[in-house]
Chains A and B, each alone.
Chain A
Amino acid sequence: MIKPKSAYSDPGKIGKIERHIIVVWVDNEAGVLARIAGLFSGRGYNIESLAVAEVDKKKHISRITIVTEGTPQVIEQINLQLKKLVPVHKVADFKRGEKDILFRELALFKILGNSKKLEKVKKICKKFNPVILDKTNKSAVIQVTALRAEIDKLALDLKSLGLISTSRTGAVAMTKGPKIFN
Chain B
Amino acid sequence: MPKLLSGAEIVFKALEDQKVEYIFGYPGGAVLPIYDELKNHKSIKHILARHEQGAGHSAEGYARSSGKPGVLLVTSGPGATNAVTALTDAYMDSVPLVCISGQVPTHLIGTDAFQECDTTGITRPCTKHNWLVKDVNNLSKILHLAFEVATTGRPGPVLVDIPKDIQFKKGKYKFFKNTLKKKLNGKVAHKISNNELDKFINLIKKSSKPIFYTGGGVINSGPEASKYLRELVSLTGFPITSTLQGLGAYPGDDPQFLGMLGMHGTYEANNAMHDCDLMINIGARFDDRITGKVDEFSPGSKKIHIDIDPSSIGKNIKVDLAIVSDVTQFLKSLIKRFKEKNKNFVSSNKQKTSKWWQQIEKWREKKSLNFINSDKIIKPQHAVQRLYELTKKQDTFITTEVGQHQMWAAQHYKFNKPNRWMTSGGLGTMGYGLPAAIGVQIANPGKLVVDIAGEASVLMTMQEMSTAVQYRLPIKIFILNNEYMGMVRQWQELLHEKNYSESYTAALPDFVKLAESYGCVGIRAKTPNELDKKIEEMINIDKPVIFDCVVDKAENCFPMIPSGKPHNQMILGPEEEEEISDEGKILV
Q: Which residues of A contact B (CB under 8 A)?
A: 4-10, 12-13, 30-31, 34-35, 38, 42, 73, 76-77, 80-89, 91
Contact = CB atoms under 8 A, between A and B. Distances in A.
**A5, A8, A35, A87 interface centre (most CB from chain B within 10 Å):** A8
B472 interface: no
Contact of B186 (A4, A7, A31, A83): A83
Given A6-B584, A12-B317, A84-B309, 15 more contacts: A5-B583, A5-B586, A6-B564, A7-B291, A7-B292, A7-B293, A7-B563, A7-B587, A10-B293, A13-B295, A31-B121, A35-B124, A84-B128, A84-B311, A86-B129
Interface in B177-192: 180, 182, 185-187
Given A7-B294, A7-B564, A12-B295, A42 B120 contact: no
Contact of A80 (B186, B316, B318): B186
B372 interface: no
B491 to A, nearest CB: 14
Contacts of A9: 587
Interface of B: 120-121, 124-125, 128-129, 132, 134, 149, 153, 180, 182, 185-187, 288, 291-295, 309-311, 314-318, 563-565, 583-584, 586-588
Nearest to B120: A31
B124 A73 contact: no
A38 B125 CA distance: 7
Nearest to B124: A38
B185 A84 contact: yes
A12 B309 contact: no
Given A31-B124, A73-B314, A89 B295 contact: no
A34 B121 contact: yes
B295 A4 contact: yes
A47 B82 CA distance: 31
Closest 4 CB pairs of A and B: A83-B186, A80-B311, A7-B293, A8-B288
B587 A8 contact: yes
A5 B581 CA distance: 11
Given A38-B125, A89-B182, A10 B311 contact: no
Contact of A30 (B128, B132, B288, B310): B132
Contacts of B291: 7
A86 B564 contact: no
A121 B293 CA distance: 57
Contacts of B318: 12-13
A80 B310 contact: yes
Given A35-B124, A38-B125, A86-B149, A6 B311 contact: no
Nearest to A4: B295
B588 A7 contact: no
A6 B120 contact: no
A83 B187 contact: yes
Contacts, number: 79
Given A6-B583, A7-B587, A84-B186, A77 B311 contact: yes
A30 B309 CA distance: 26
A7 B291 CA distance: 9
B310 A83 contact: yes
A27 to B, nearest CB: 10
16 contacts: A7-B293, A7-B564, A7-B587, A12-B294, A12-B316, A30-B132, A34-B121, A76-B314, A77-B314, A82-B186, A83-B186, A84-B185, A84-B309, A84-B310, A84-B311, A88-B186
Given A34-B121, A77-B311, A81-B311, A86 B295 contact: no
Given A13-B295, A42-B125, A76-B314, A7 B584 contact: yes
A71 to B, nearest CB: 12
A33 to B, nearest CB: 11
A8 B315 CA distance: 13
Nearest to A88: B186
Nearest to B566: A7
A21 to B, nearest CB: 19
Contacts of B316: 12
B405 to A, nearest CB: 23
Nearest to B289: A8
A88 B187 CA distance: 12
Nearest to A91: B186
Contact of A34 (B124, B149, B310, B587): B124
A10 B294 contact: yes
A10 B295 contact: yes
Contacts of A5: 583, 586
A77 B132 CA distance: 28
Contacts of B153: 84
B586 A6 contact: yes
B584 A83 contact: no
Given A13-B295, A38-B124, A80-B186, A8 B311 contact: no
A64 to B, nearest CB: 16
Contacts of A7: 288, 291-294, 563-565, 584, 587
A82 B311 CA distance: 9
A73 B186 CA distance: 17
Contacts of B292: 7
Contacts of B182: 89
Contacts of B293: 7, 10
B469 to A, nearest CB: 40
Contacts of B149: 86
A32 to B, nearest CB: 11
A72 to B, nearest CB: 10
B292 to A, nearest CB: 6
Contacts of B309: 84
Contacts of B584: 6-7
